[in-house]
Each structure stands twice: as structure tokens, then as C-alpha cells.
Amino acid sequence: MRVAVVLYDQFTALDAVGPYEVLSRVPGAEVTFVAAQAGPVRTDTDRLALVADAALDELPDPDVILIPGGPGQLALMEDEPLLSWLRRADASSTWTTSVCTGSLLLAAAGLLDGRRATTHWLLLDDLERHGATAVRERVVVDGKVVTAAGVSAGIDMALTLAAELAGADVAQTAQLLLEYDPKPPFDAGSPATAPDALVAALREASRQLLAASDVQRA
């Protein structure tokens, strides 16, 4: 079972690394990090690069596709090489999955038309505009397409997926190995529970980022 984790410039590292830790512990799963070209790919903070071991062309038909999110997604919404790869890979995949704004790339490839899907809480309206039925849930399964909410939700998504791929014991063993028994010191991980002022500040920053991106495209 070949799992392709798709990297691109300015992706968010945890979107990819969270699910990788779970899925690489599923017996028989062979996880490969892929990108337009093999080699180091910089993340959104520019403080870290992850190495893609293969080019997209070298792995055209993985069994599981996983595409992370990150600000770099904005520049790829019309990137034909990536979107074509996603369409072709999805045509034969068993599971097509995303974390955070990775679902916007699946939507841009036309793979979420009419499907229930999710993304980072800041981008749910954007996902809806791109043809999906956007729902505010942590992990959304619609047929073979599994989408996760923002960044850290990829861990929950991968545990859900691991159970589908190999059973609940395998998923729970991965969870126990990763000691994923979360105890955040604050209850601020969702706009429903975070202080209103922090939610408003992030909404404004996101609005400005999207507006700047629209200006660049125009």
C-alpha cells in the first residue's frame, strides 16, 4: 500500500508530519514524500525544509493520497501539473485525503464537487466557493475522500484512516506509541472556545492575506 504525501513550497509541516507518524506505523504502508521535484521543500515559516524523496511523476498512482495545507496552497490553485497529478492519482486511489487547506487544492482539481468536506476554520467559506459542501467538523469522510480541519486535525484524520485501512487495533497502537493523549494547557483550539479578540484578529489577518493574493492574481 503506497501512501503519497504531497509537498509544495510553503506547506505547513505539521499538516504532513502528523498523519505521516500515524500512517507510517500501519503494517504494509509505504509512505513516500513527493513534490514537483525530489529534494528539500521549504515550509511556510522558512525555518524548516522537509525532503521529498520522489517527484510526482515517479508516483502517479498511489493507493492513498495525502495533501497538506499551508499558505503555499494559494499559489497552486491553477497549477496544472499539480492539479493534473491529483486528478490522475485520484482516478485510481483507494483513499484521497487532505489536511487544512489541502482540501482547497482537491477542490481546485474538481475532486470535491458536491462532496462534504472540511478545511481550516478560517477558510470554510472559501472551500464552499470552490464547489464543496463545506462542513465544520474535525474529520469528514465522504466516500473515499477524507478531509481534516486545520493543521493538527491531520492526526485525528490519520487515526480514522488507519482504522479503515488496517483495523482499530492498528490505529490504537499508533495512538499509544505516539502517546496521543492530548492535554492542551488552554481551550483555545477552536473559534467556538478561543477568546473572541483572538478569533477576530486571525479573521482580519486572513482577510488581508486573501485580499493580497487576489490583487496578485488580478
Neighbours of 8 (CB within 10 A): 23
63 binds a copy of itself (CB under 8 A): no
Q: What is the Cα–Cα distance from 109 to 128, expressed in whole angstroms?
A: 14
- Three cell numbers written together for 213: 493574493
User: Of residues 10, 38, 53, 135, which one binds a copy of itself by CB under 8 A?
Assistant: 53
User: Of residues 135, 144, 180, 213, which one binds a copy of itself by CB under 8 A?
Assistant: 180
10 binds a copy of itself (CB under 8 A): no
Binding string, 68-107, against a copy of itself, x = CB under 8 A? Answer: --------------------------------x-------
Binding string, 125-164, against a copy of itself, x = CB under 8 A? Answer: -------------xx---------xxxxx-xx--xx--x-
Q: Please say which residue, 109 or 165, places its beta carbon nearer to a copy of itself.
A: 165
The yes-or-no answer on residue 160 being catalytic is no
User: Of residues 47, 80, 196, 215, which one binds a copy of itself by CB under 8 A?
Assistant: 47
**Residue 115 Cβ vs a copy of itself, minimum distance, rounded to whole Å:** 20
In angstroms and rounded to an integer, the radius of gyration of the C-alpha atoms of the chain is 17
**Which residue of the set 16, 82, 100, 149 is catalytic?**
100
CA atoms within 13 A on the CB side of 47: 3
User: How far is the CA of 58 from the CAs of 47, 54, 74, 81, 116, in angstroms?
Assistant: 28, 6, 25, 13, 30
Q: Is 85 helix (H, G, I), strand (E, B) or coil?
A: helix
Q: What is the Cα–Cα distance from 177 to 123, expressed in whole angstroms?
A: 32
Q: Is 31 helix (H, G, I), strand (E, B) or coil?
A: strand
Neighbours of 205 (CB within 10 A): 11
Which amino acid does the sequence have at 70? G
- Residues in contact with a copy of itself by CB under 8 A are 12-14, 17-18, 20-21, 24, 30-33, 40, 45, 47-51, 53, 100, 120-121, 138-139, 149-153, 155-156, 159-160, 163, 168-169, 171-173, 175-186, 188-191, 193-195, 198-199, 201-202
